[in-house]
Amino acid sequence: MRLADLSKRSGVSTATIKYYLREGLLPPGRQVNATTAEYDEGHLRRLRLVRALIQVGKVPVATAREVLGHVDDESLGRTIRLGAALWALPQDAEPDEADPAVAAARTEVGRLLELLGWETAREMAPLSPVHRSLVVAVAALRRLDYPWDAELMAPYGALMMEVARRELDFMETHASDAEQVEMAVASAVLFQPVLRALHRLAQEEESARRYGIE
Amino acid sequence: MRLADLSKRSGVSTATIKYYLREGLLPPGRQVNATTAEYDEGHLRRLRLVRALIQVGKVPVATAREVLGHVDDESLGRTIRLGAALWALPQDAEPDEADPAVAAARTEVGRLLELLGWETAREMAPLSPVHRSLVVAVAALRRLDYPWDAELMAPYGALMMEVARRELDFMETHASDAEQVEMAVASAVLFQPVLRALHRLAQEEESARRYGIE
């Protein structure tokens, strides 16, 4: 398809598409003559992922370029490509190692991964920014005197594993191999607001059931 | 306790505590003479909630004041106090009603609440900013051609209800009646990063199990 069709089908203006091309977020089309290039379904899919990252995920352009670089790196296996892409997404604040709540949180997160039997997460822990985010979040709860330990977290971990399994099942049935890493990255960005909203709605609903509305 | 002890026990500087007092985020202490006020465990608890909102939740001071006003409004029942406080927290972008993906998302969210039997959420839908956030998040997925309908969302809704039930069980056993609304608001802000990090760790773990690491 031509640039104008790519714009129409994606809902992204031609000016924005040209900007993404210049920034290397979208691979160039196949040049058919000096002034015209041809784009395919892969471009359309990539354009939607770029919009998800930048418009919904508020990811800076340079970060989006790095994330997409990992998605496209076919020298890596699927898990590593996905992991590298997810790790390149903007992360929460780094833990303050001088804070005793951080040390306690790190111990509990370590015990949690052991309880859950998440072997890869344990091995990756020293490198993983996601692991560090969890330590920071648990430390914040513990500073507020929530007795937030491995036993208390384990059922939530099991529920989130159930969510992750459903997501991967969905991807396996709805996406080709080549598309699955793209889809996993888009869903890491787009799915989080769905879960957050469902969680808050569930809190209100269950509160109304237990305590009534008056 | 005196201001200096409140500062020591909370880890918040006396200058910041004085700022919170001036801004009405913390109720005044009991004046024991012209220059000294006495603070109690309620002040300590409130100070921790204020820090959670402002430092972890990045909530603006004016918004935090509004949230706390709802928490303290004893003319309201518990569900309404909690709901009003949660609704006053910063929300995601408003839905663009001209977008056909938004109309389709609203229909699916309506069907979802019917499938789940969430009666309060259905009644509150026209008023609830949480409901609007869910519509926006689902519309973003549908624009990317995810076939995201009520049947697909229902199991995630059920999992989030399981999370909410565990949270309320925890609050009922660990907090007095007066503290429960405060605790629910703190956990709405502080618990979300824990769930998000657990979710991403679970994605990596399950991906490694299915596809290996190479």
Other Cβ atoms less than 10 A from the Cβ of B80: the count is: 18
Residues of A in contact with B171 (CB under 8 A): none
Nearest CA in chain B to A157: B198
Question: At residue A214, does pLDDT exceed 70?
Answer: no
pLDDT higher for A56 or B214? Answer: A56
Position A113 scores a pLDDT of 95
Q: Token pair of A57, please?
A: 């995920």
Contact A86 B192 (CB under 8 A): no
Hey, of A203, A210, A211, A214, which one would you mutate to test binding to chain B, going by the most B CBs within 10 A of its CB? A203
Contact A77 B144 (CB under 8 A): no
Question: Could you tell me where the DSSP H helices lie in A25-144?
Answer: 41-51, 61-71, 78-88, 100-116, 119-124, 129-143
pLDDT higher for A181 or B111? Answer: B111
Hey, of B204, B209, B210, which one would you mutate to test binding to chain A, going by the most A CBs within 10 A of its CB? B204
Position B105 scores a pLDDT of 93
Percent of chain A with pLDDT over 70: 98
Contact B144 A78 (CB under 8 A): no
CB pairs under 8 A between A and B: 251
Closest of A144, A207, A210 to residue B191, by C-alpha: A144
Listed range (A173-187, B1-15, B105-119) with the worst mean pLDDT? A173-187
Position B76 scores a pLDDT of 80
d(CA B33, CA A207): 43
Nearest CA in chain B to A56: B140
Contact A194 B78 (CB under 8 A): no
Position B189 scores a pLDDT of 80
Residues of B in contact with A93 (CB under 8 A): none
Its pTM stands at 0.81
Nearest CA in chain A to B193: A137
Position A94 scores a pLDDT of 81
Contact A206 B161 (CB under 8 A): yes
Listed range (A22-31, A96-105, B79-88) with the worst mean pLDDT? B79-88
ipTM value > 0.95: no
Question: At residue A14, does pLDDT exceed 90?
Answer: yes
Hey, of B198, B210, B211, B214, which one would you mutate to test binding to chain A, going by the most A CBs within 10 A of its CB? B198
Listed range (A21-30, A88-97, B12-21, B189-198) with the worst mean pLDDT? A88-97
Binned at pLDDT 50, 70 and 90, residue B1 comes out as: very high
Nearest CA in chain B to A120: B205
d(CA B175, CA B157): 26
In this complex, the residue of B80, B204, B209 whose CB is nearest that of residue A83 is B204
Closest of A181, A178, A179 to residue A81, by C-alpha: A181
pLDDT digits (tens, 9 = 90+) for B34-81: 888 999 988 988 888 898 888 777 888 998 999 888 888 888 877 777
In this complex, the residue of A141, A168, A195 whose CB is nearest that of residue B206 is A168
Binned at pLDDT 50, 70 and 90, residue A118 comes out as: very high
Percent of chain B with pLDDT over 90: 27
State which of A82-86, B51-55, B103-107 shows the largest mean pLDDT: B103-107
3-state class of A30 per DSSP?
A: strand
Nearest CA in chain A to B109: A198
Position B208 scores a pLDDT of 84
Question: At residue A178, does pLDDT exceed 70?
Answer: no
Q: What is the DSSP string of chain B?
A: --HHHHHHHHT--HHHHHHHHHTTSS---EEEETTEEE--HHHHHHHHHHHIIIIIS---HHHHHHHHHHHT-TTS-HHHHHHHHHHHS---PPP-TT-HHHHHHHHHHHHHHHHHT-HHHHHHTTT-HHHHHHHHHHHHHHHTT----HHHHHHHHHHHHHHHHHHHHHHHHHS-HHHHHHHHHHHHHHHHHHHHHHHHHHHHHHHHHHH---
Question: At residue A137, does pLDDT exceed 70?
Answer: yes
Residue B115 distance to chain A (closest CA, Å): 14
pLDDT higher for A94 or A17? Answer: A17
Contact B137 A197 (CB under 8 A): yes
Nearest CA in chain B to A182: B144
Binned at pLDDT 50, 70 and 90, residue B214 comes out as: low
d(CA A101, CA A143): 6
Q: Are B136 and A196 in contact (CB under 8 A)?
A: no
Residues of B in contact with A209 (CB under 8 A): 120
Q: Token pair of A28, please?
A: 């160039």
Listed range (A21-25, B188-192, B198-202) with the worst mean pLDDT? B188-192
